[in-house]
Amino acid sequence: MKRLFFLSIMICTALVSSSCSIKKHVNNQFPPLSTTDQQVLAIKQNLNSIDSIRPSLGLYLGEDVLVSYLKREIRKGLESNQSEDLKVLWLEPVISFDKQAIVFDIDAILKVPKHHVTMKVKMKGLSAISSSSDTLYIRNAFKSVKLYDITFTKCPGLKRWAIAKLLPPILNNFINNVNGEYLRKPLVLDLNWKRNLRFDPKVVFGRTATGPVVNIERYLKTTSWKIDNNGLSILIELSRDKPISEENSLPSGEGFNEEYLTEIFSRYDSIYSQLWNKHFTALDSTTLISASLKKHELASVFNQGMSKGITFQQGYEVERENFRSEMKVFRDKVRCSWVRDNCSRDCCISEVWGNCVLWDPVCLASVAACEGLNITKVTACELAKATNELMDLGAFQGYTLGYGNTRIDLIKAMITDDLSQINLNYGGAVTGNFKAQLEIRPKWLGHILLCNSKYKKNITSRLAFDIPQQESKIFMNVTQVGDQVVLNGRFEPISYEASVNPSPLHAFLTDPNMIRQCPILWGVIGSGSAAIMIGNFFDIVKLGPEDELLLKGYTSGTYRPASFSNKLYPLDVTINDYYHYPAKVVWSEKAIEYRHNE
């Protein structure tokens, strides 16, 4: 704008001679350059780099979105950069897009306070954009500046109507000269695009996680842009390594015509569209905003962050868990002779030559009563066996609880490029205290065949649960539900070895009080090794696998953790803290995409 004012002052000064002298004077300082050249050079610059790009990101902003944004930015930029020499009293930009260029028409009223000059102008121009590596090139060019109204109160020798009439054609004649001086070289923006993600296990997974902090750096390696009448799209390639700075040879040339511009842009448009559609979902006429991240790029970031290993340590508390099982015995496991009591007594009061000559009548009566009771119990047992294949004798019940510490060493976690599977390498251990209360409650014949009365015992043990170092997988499945994406994870079984010492059930079954109160049960389960006794006991009692594991006191095998599910929600895309666009998340074949459509 200051240059335009300088040009205007030059013109006012030159008006005292002739238009030919003005043209000669200004042309000597401002060699011409056409706007078509700017667009062609921008397209050539993009053609030079498009064959080498391997996109990581794809961004698209439709015309309506960009116009809303750029209008506001133009106003804010011009109004915030006023000086004492030039004031913007009013402006209204109109923006459109065409062949690798942003075209703008700006109506404005400008004031030069120092010289008491007010101008009403329309500026027409464009910005052509191209890029190489992480450098952005912006080639700007005015096509024309038209003065609708102008007042030069300090311009001597001519009336105002004469100046207003002469200036428009003079400015139109010299507009290419203005471009040649101000815009011959493109505006070069060294983006130095770099993102440093600090992968801190405590931040990502919480306070239970410890491990090295991993700095994940991503640099912008190269970009490719396309601007057409639909809007602006950008393909971006990221790199873990900082790009090597190289001198970029910029395309040069001038004198290109509109036909050549159309031909070279058509060629670039075809190459660019094929590249976009190869890596991302094709854009359609309803798309206003699209942001796509290649799955392999997300996998790369995840794998780098998890490459140093993470240890998870956490205290745990197993809440009280009640259990109960009927105690049923198959009849072939029971010998009714077990129910007999020992009725032998020494009832002799006096002996002669080894023979009893005097018996205690009370003692003899008790022996007879005992034998009679044995006959009754054996008869009842035989009757129960004859009529019941499976004899319900009572219940085994109680509860378990525990507390301690868990440690999982996640040595490595690698997700596949398509995000369908996570490969894990890990090991760990669980230690702590385990408490159990076990109780047998006999009923009916159970008072004969199990225990004389209920028997209960409290046991405290030490828990050790070892997860040997191993490899396993998490399989990922994705479902699109409306404008959300649901991620479902399914674990491969985990191998483990666990022990509870002493075994709660073995301590329960070998307790002397249990043997005295439950002699028949003792006969059923036997008095062999712990494994045999516990195995026989679980022929009578049926519990869930977790309860059996804890009560047995030792086990090894595999365990499959519960599946999990997470959701990816739509995003609210905000531009310039003013415009908000809800963007639906889409899980495509090669990328995760957020889109806002009309």
pLDDT tens-digit profile, the chain (598 residues): 444 333 343 444 333 333 333 334 333 433 444 568 778 888 888 888 888 889 988 888 888 877 877 777 667 655 665 666 667 788 888 888 888 888 878 787 877 676 566 777 777 777 666 665 555 565 656 666 666 665 655 554 455 555 445 545 544 554 555 455 434 555 454 544 556 678 888 887 788 888 888 888 887 788 888 888 888 888 888 888 776 665 555 566 667 788 898 999 999 999 999 999 999 988 888 888 888 889 998 898 888 888 888 898 888 887 888 888 887 777 777 777 777 778 888 888 777 777 887 888 888 888 888 888 888 878 877 877 777 777 777 888 888 888 889 898 989 889 999 989 999 999 988 888 888 898 888 887 777 777 878 888 898 888 888 888 889 899 999 888 888 889 899 988 888 777 788 888 888 878 888 777 877 777 677 666 667 777 777 777 777 766 676 677 777 777 788 888 888 888 777 665 666 778 888 888 889 888 888 7
- The whole model's pTM is what? 0.65
Q: Is the peptide bond before 519 cis (omega within 30 degrees of 0)?
A: no
**Dist. CA 53–CA 283, nearest whole Å:** 19
Q: Select from 473, 495, 490, 488 the least CA-distant residue to 415.
A: 473
DSSP 81: T
Q: Are 209 and 314 in contact (CB under 8 A)?
A: no
**Dist. CA 231–CA 63, nearest whole Å:** 4
Max alpha carbon distance in the chain (Å)? 170
CA 58 vs CA 184, 270, 337, 417: distances in Å: 31, 17, 85, 17
Residue 337: what residue type? S
| CB-CB neighbours of 318 under 10 Å | 15
Q: Are 232 and 226 in contact (CB under 8 A)?
A: yes
**Dist. CA 426–CA 408, nearest whole Å:** 7
Q: Are 490 and 563 in contact (CB under 8 A)?
A: yes
**Dist. CA 187–CA 183, nearest whole Å:** 8
pLDDT of residue 10: 41
Q: Are 378 and 386 in contact (CB under 8 A)?
A: no
CA 489 vs CA 313, 411, 474: distances in Å: 22, 20, 6
